[in-house]
Amino acid sequence: MDDTPPPPFVPFTEPPTVVKQVTPKYPGLARQAKIQGRVIAHLWIDESGRVRDVKIIKSDSEVFNQPVIDAAKQWLFTPALMNSGPVAVWLAGPFNFTLK
């Protein structure tokens, strides 16, 4: 398994698709303070579909960053494919924290 992250852009013919998704835990202090927000994260998805790393790109509040990292690292994907072979890619995704 290569421990070098892929470059920012990797071409693929089939994008990765979510197989297992874990929802980030809403931080208790944020819930008590009625803070809502959104985090945009880049996920490094390796050739087997595992999330190897998570980088926070934009965040409305730092209180949400660690829950996003912890949850995203548990996600599983089908790997991205290029010429019928799996390739490692970065995938950006939003995580929303809204009070109900």
**pTM greater than the 0.95 cutoff:** no
User: Which CATH number is associated with domain 17-97?
Assistant: 3.30.2420.10
Domain limits, the chain: 17-97
Q: Per-residue pLDDT tens for 25-52? A: 999 999 999 999 999 999 999 999 999 9
In whole angstroms, what is the distance from residue 8 CA to residue 40 CA? 15
In whole angstroms, what is the distance from residue 100 CA to residue 94 CA? 18
Task: For the chain, give the number of residues.
Answer: 100
Q: Per-residue pLDDT tens for 16-29? A: 999 999 999 999 99
Helix ranges (H only) for the chain are 28-32, 65-72
Q: Which of 21, 13, 7 is nearest to 79 (CA)?
A: 13
